[in-house]
Amino acid sequence: MPKRPVYLDHAATTAVRPEVLEVMLPFLGPDAFGNPSSAHRFGRAARAGIEAAKRTIAEALAAEPNQVIFTSGGTEADNLAVVGAALASRDAGGPFRAAVSAVEHKAVLAAAHFVAHLGGEEVVLAVNASGVVEADALEDALRRGVGLVSVMWVNNEVGTIQPVPSLAARCRDAGVCFHSDAVQAFGKIPVSVREAGCNFLTISGHKIGAPKGIGALVVRDRRAVEAIIHGGGQQFGIRPGTENVPGIVALGKAVELAAAERPEFARRVSALRDDFERRLLDVVPDAVINAWQAERAPHVSNVSIPGTDSEAMLMHLDLAGVACSSGSACSTGAVEPSHVLTAMGVPRELGVAALRFSFGRENTPEDVDAAIGALPRIVEKVRALAAVLHR
């Protein structure tokens, strides 16, 4: 086991950064704990923290401060964009359909399914073997008429980068709103709402060193979305409810740091990821790097190791002090390939053997050494066990 546990699951969540915790604490103390809707000094102090965070986030994303709507996280932001835009389209006399890529996060896929549950329609856009949306699939959806297209900027499982600016431009030409889940993109690759031309864009705090439970949706046109939570008039009525002030302040600081550090972060973690993949293929020559031929974000490596299953691999890696994620989901007691790999056409036997290693700012070359050092023995053990079970 390595001297310290090795965390290679940063795409799942990250630790709260000390700088972020430091700016949060005053808004949990006696001077700025107030309700930001209150007119007294305690409320004004809380409101000032929110407004400062809005300005910081807007600058980092090339948006306007009044376009930043705070949510409880990426899942809520995705639901607000997909369901809210579909409802707004319906109410304006447009199509009540949401088109989403086949490799979206479950937050987007489930939101599109809910549109269908409400009487609308979900349209799933096919992807190629790299996980990139097929142009013909988008064109077909636009011809049929949709109220919204949602395509994630960076895939959370395999790291594929979608051509968001060109997809958004095609939707704009067709008069259709475009949303991108940029949860895995922001802080890793350049993200500009203005340059990309997105109508809506999602970010999440816990992927960039803020606490869990805070995210944001950039809404460039408030008329294009309808609230899905109802209550007071906070945040233009788009997302009512008393704001999570410490979380919002934390998100602002995390965004500031991620934007400033992005070029160096990308350079360093891509070097770690590339070294990991090269050395993995040296020690496990039949391993498959999923989406290797695509343009990928620098921090994600999704690998399939033939003759193994991801759950057994995860257990043994954890025992060896290495934390990563499964590329599959446990359903009714059986390991099934992830919907992402299935949509990409990855064979089932490789889909159930997929692992995601995702790198972060705390990782070092020694972490790669530890993971590579543990893998050959674990692969041999899991393959041997699988061979016995399948006799």
Q: How do residues 23-59 score in pLDDT, each as one tens digit?
A: 999 999 999 999 999 999 999 999 999 999 999 999 9
State the CB neighbour count (10 A cutoff) for residue 6: 25
As given in the structure block, the two tokens for residue 18 are: 């000390």
- Choose the weakest-confidence range: 183-192, 257-266, 367-376, 381-390: 381-390
**Residue that is written with structure tokens 């008329």 in the block:** 223
Q: How far is CA 177 from CA 131, 136, 217, 358, in A?
A: 22, 18, 14, 31
The percent of residues in the chain predicted with pLDDT above 70, rounded, is 97
Contact 112, 82 (CB under 8 A): yes
Query: Is 177 considered catalytic here?
Result: no
Whether this model's pTM surpasses 0.75:
yes
- The Cα–Cα gap between 133 and 379 comes to 33
Spot the catalytic one: 171, 177, 198, 330. Answer: 330
DSSP 3-state of 6: strand
CA-to-CA distance for 304 and 308, rounded, in angstroms? 9
Q: What band does 334 get if pLDDT is binned at 50, 70 and 90?
A: low
Identical topology for domains 6-13+261-389 and 18-258:
no
Q: What is the residue-averaged pLDDT of the chain?
A: 95
Distances (CA, A) of 247 to 51, 54, 60, 121: 13, 12, 18, 35
Handedness of CA 236, 238, 241, 247 (dihedral sign): negative
- Tens of pLDDT, residue by residue over 61-95, are 999 999 999 999 999 999 999 999 999 999 999 99
Does 3.90.1150.10 match the CATH number of domain 6-13+261-389?
Answer: yes
Q: How confident is the model at residue 330 (pLDDT cuts 50, 70, 90)?
A: very low
pLDDT in tens, 200-228: 999 999 999 999 999 999 999 999 999 99
Which pLDDT score, from 0 to 100, does residue 327 have? Answer: 63
Identify the pLDDT of residue 391.
Answer: 64
Domain positions in the chain: 6-13+261-389, 18-258
- Give me the CATH code for the 18-258 domain, please: 3.40.640.10
Mean pLDDT calculated for residue range 97-109: 98
